[in-house]
């Protein structure tokens, strides 16, 4: 058995780790690592974070509610402008592309998604949604990270979950065994292989020891070694695929559109990633909301439609489910600055042939509020997550989310 020298790059998270630089690695570990990557054709989930607190009534409009009209003067959307989805709610007029997807049975709207005793802090609420747990960051891992840990236990492929935009890998994709990859652009590819885990940090130090790794190395070190090999290969592949991809459709010129175009390129190139996480912000609309939010809705619609059309042109549309979320909603009424303040409950949107197209759950009442004067949620966000986990990703939700969250029947 002859050892193979792996040439690698010092591009781990903020330079805090190294992917086996200068290490001599046995061929059996190289072959094992590269064979472990997920197979082409597997289902993919794309999660879009609308950061800042998306205003639900300005996205999915309760156009028949007189109380909505009374509480919203400057952000009010007239019934004749609304793109009606049923007899009670409709899309913002800037979401014409998403309405076309809805009419083609490729979009679902879940109203009033939230949880008991909502948190109104951006950071803490974000952690709750990304953890899939009311303990937030205290849960230690994210719901999609736990999915990868369970569904791909022992698989050293580091590219199972990947975040584009936002810097450090988000909590949502952080698992104990699979910490996720993150980059803002392909040239700044980062791998958080040992973040927050002293034992892994020590193992990565061993990987950089100039002594050859031996076939008899302990099981944990072998796993970390395989992860390092695969991370190196993935790093090169990400830069290559994202840099060379030429879509057959035209995307808008925006951060969201560029991120989704990169996702489409990585899918087209056969990257093993099962979970993509995309972030874009601007939704903290405390002042002058109407124009700002309309622009965000226009960007969302154009970007998602281009992405869906791109996937269709590739022949990958049936493999991909896309969903949106935000850390919280906005208050029912406007403030004195022509905007809205932090609130609770909002819609989740899902796109792709894998959805059961329709409108789910009632829009939160405009006459009954919680003790803070905010919307009362209609469905727990973990029931939506459970639907995605069980019906799309094909894994039991209970070990990931806990008990008491029956899957919402919104995914085919």
Give 15-34 pLDDT, tens digit per residue: 323 333 333 334 433 444 44
Best CA proximity match to 401, nearest among 375, 380, 379: 380
For the cut 50, the answer to whether the pLDDT of residue 317 exceeds it is yes
**Any domain includes 205:** no
Q: Is the distance from CB of 77 to CB of 61 less than 8 angstroms?
A: yes
- CA angle 348/379/105 to nearest 5° reads 45
Rg, C-alpha atoms of the chain: 22
For the cut 70, the answer to whether the pLDDT of residue 318 exceeds it is yes
- CA angle 145/148/150 to nearest 5° reads 110
Mean pLDDT of 41-48: 93
Best CA proximity match to 261, nearest among 297, 311, 324: 311
Question: By residue range, what is the domain housing residue 336?
Answer: 42-192+250-401
**300-315 tens-digit pLDDT:** 999 999 999 999 999 9
| CA distances for 128 relative to 135, 171, 200, 395, angstroms | 6, 10, 26, 21
**391-412 tens-digit pLDDT:** 999 999 999 999 999 999 999 9
Angle between helices 27-35 and 219-244 (to 10 degrees): 60
E-strand ranges in 56-159 read 60-61, 83-84, 90-91, 107-114
Q: Which residue has the higher pLDDT, 156 or 19?
A: 156
Q: Which residue has the higher pLDDT, 41 or 260?
A: 260
Mean pLDDT of 240-257: 92
pLDDT of residue 241: 87
- CA angle 352/356/360 to nearest 5° reads 115
pLDDT of residue 182: 86
Number of domains the chain is built from: 1
pLDDT of residue 39: 58
For the cut 90, the answer to whether the pLDDT of residue 287 exceeds it is yes
**Any domain includes 335:** yes
Alpha-carbon gap, residue 27 to 8, rounded angstroms = 16
pLDDT of residue 229: 56
pLDDT of residue 183: 81
For the cut 80, the answer to whether the pLDDT of residue 226 exceeds it is no
For the cut 60, the answer to whether the pLDDT of residue 225 exceeds it is no
Ranked by mean pLDDT, the top range of 156-170, 178-192, 231-245, 362-376 is 362-376
Q: Is the distance from CB of 121 to CB of 326 less than 8 angstroms?
A: no
Alpha-carbon gap, residue 134 to 189, rounded angstroms = 31
pLDDT of residue 29: 39
CATH of the domain at 282: 3.40.720.10
pLDDT of residue 185: 74
**66-119 tens-digit pLDDT:** 999 999 999 999 999 999 999 999 999 999 999 999 999 999 999 999 999 999
Distance from chain centroid for Cα 407 = 18
**Any domain includes 317:** yes
**Any domain includes 4:** no
**Any domain includes 315:** yes
**Any domain includes 291:** yes
**Any domain includes 84:** yes
**Any domain includes 221:** no
For the cut 60, the answer to whether the pLDDT of residue 201 exceeds it is no
Alpha-carbon gap, residue 222 to 213, rounded angstroms = 9
């Amino acid at each position: 058995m002859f050892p193979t020298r792996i040439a690698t790059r010092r591009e781990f998270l903020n330079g805090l780790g190294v992917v086996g630089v200068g290490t001599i690695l046995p061929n059996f570990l190289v072959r094992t690592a590269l064979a472990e990557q997920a197979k082409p054709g597997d289902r993919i989930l794309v999660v879009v974070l609308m950061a800042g607190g998306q205003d639900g009534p300005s996205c999915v409009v309760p156009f028949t509610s007189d109380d909505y009209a009374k509480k919203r003067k400057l952000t009010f959307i007239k019934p004749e402008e609304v793109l009606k989805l049923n007899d009670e709610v409709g899309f913002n007029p800037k979401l014409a592309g998403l309405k076309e997807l809805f009419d083609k049975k490729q979009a679902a709207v879940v109203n009033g998604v939230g949880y008991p005793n909502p948190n109104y802090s951006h950071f803490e609420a974000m952690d709750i949604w990304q953890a899939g747990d009311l303990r937030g960051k205290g849960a230690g891992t994210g719901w999609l990270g736990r999915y990868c840990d369970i569904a791909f236990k022992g698989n050293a492929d580091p590219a199972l979950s990947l975040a584009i935009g936002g810097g450090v890998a988000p909590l949502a994709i952080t698992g104990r065994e699979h910490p996720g990859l993150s980059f803002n652009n392909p040239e700044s590819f980062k791998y958080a292989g040992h973040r927050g885990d002293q034992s892994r940090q020590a193992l990565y130090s061993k990987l950089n020891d100039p002594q050859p790794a031996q076939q008899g190395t302990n099981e944990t070190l072998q796993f970390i070694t395989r992860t390092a090999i695969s991370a190196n290969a993935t790093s090169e592949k990400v830069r290559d695929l994202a840099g060379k991809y030429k879509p057959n459709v035209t995307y808008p010129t925006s951060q969201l559109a560029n991120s989704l175009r990169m996702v489409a390129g990585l899918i087209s190139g056969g990257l093993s990633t099962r979970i993509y996480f995309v972030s874009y912000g601007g939704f903290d609309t405390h002042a002058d909301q109407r124009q700002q939010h309309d622009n965000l809705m226009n960007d969302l619609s154009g970007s998602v439609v281009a992405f869906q059309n791109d996937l269709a042109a590739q022949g990958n549309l049936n493999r991909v489910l896309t969903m949106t979320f935000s850390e919280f909603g906005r208050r029912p009424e406007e403030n004195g600055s022509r905007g809205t303040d932090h609130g609770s409950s909002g819609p989740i949107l899902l796109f792709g042939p894998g959805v059961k197209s329709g409108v789910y759950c009632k829009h939160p009442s405009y006459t009954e509020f919680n003790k803070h004067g905010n919307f009362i949620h209609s469905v727990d966000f973990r029931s939506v997550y459970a639907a995605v986990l069980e019906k799309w990703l094909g894994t039991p939700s209970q070990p990931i989310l806990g008990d008491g969250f029956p899957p919402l029947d919104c995914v085919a």
